[in-house]
């Protein structure tokens, strides 16, 4: 699953490149060329030209709202001050206590908040 270039990926990329250029030119033709010229060519089944302006506007407004929505979702999923999630979580509750070995670095563990507070705020006598 490495991101290295492969021949298949080169072909997909080129096909997407051609497809997106084709789509863009088609969009420009639909938006700019008057209907009468298109009808005279025999191409009559197009959506209303109103959408050539409306769809980009919808997209941009959706992106703008997405910024505000993401901000709001972030604020909503922040744990409130009264939740136990600010202190502990499932992994910390189920952690195993490893035995203390002399002259070895102590194992990594979640230190309970009471102990941390005592360490920080009560002066060592």
Q: Name the site residues for other proteins (rule: CB under 8 A).
A: 75, 78-79, 81-84, 86-88, 93, 112-114, 117-118, 121-122
CB of 114 to other proteins, least distance (A): 5
Give me the helix-helix angle, 50-77 and 7-32, nearest 10°.
Answer: 120
| DSSP per position, 13-46 | HHHHHHHHHHHHHHHHHHHHS-HHHHHHHT----
Of residues 40 and 117, the one with the C-beta less far from other proteins: 117
- Residue 68 C-beta: closest distance to other proteins, Å: 14
> 102 or 115: whose CB is closer to other proteins?
115
Please identify, using beta-carbon distances, which residue of 5 and 80 lies nearer to other proteins.
80
Taking the least distance from each CB to other proteins, the nearer of 9 and 85 is 85
Phi, psi of 71 (to 5 degrees): -55, -45
- Residue 34 to residue 67: CA distance in whole angstroms: 37
Least CB distance to other proteins at residue 15 (A): 45
| DSSP at 87 | T
């Amino acid at each position: 699953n490495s991101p290295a270039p492969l021949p298949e990926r080169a072909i997909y990329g080129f096909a997407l490149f051609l497809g997106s250029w084709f789509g863009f030119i088609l969009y420009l033709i639909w938006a700019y060329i008057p209907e009468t010229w298109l009808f005279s060519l025999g191409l009559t089944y197009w959506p209303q030209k109103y959408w050539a302006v409306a769809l980009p506007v919808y997209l941009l407004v959706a992106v703008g709202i997405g910024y505000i929505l993401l901000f709001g979702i972030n604020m909503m999923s922040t744990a409130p001050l009264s939740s136990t999630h600010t202190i502990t979580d499932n992994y910390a509750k189920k952690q195993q206590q490893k035995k203390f070995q002399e002259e070895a670095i102590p194992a990594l563990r979640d230190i309970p908040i009471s102990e941390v507070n005592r360490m920080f705020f009560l002066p060592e006598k």
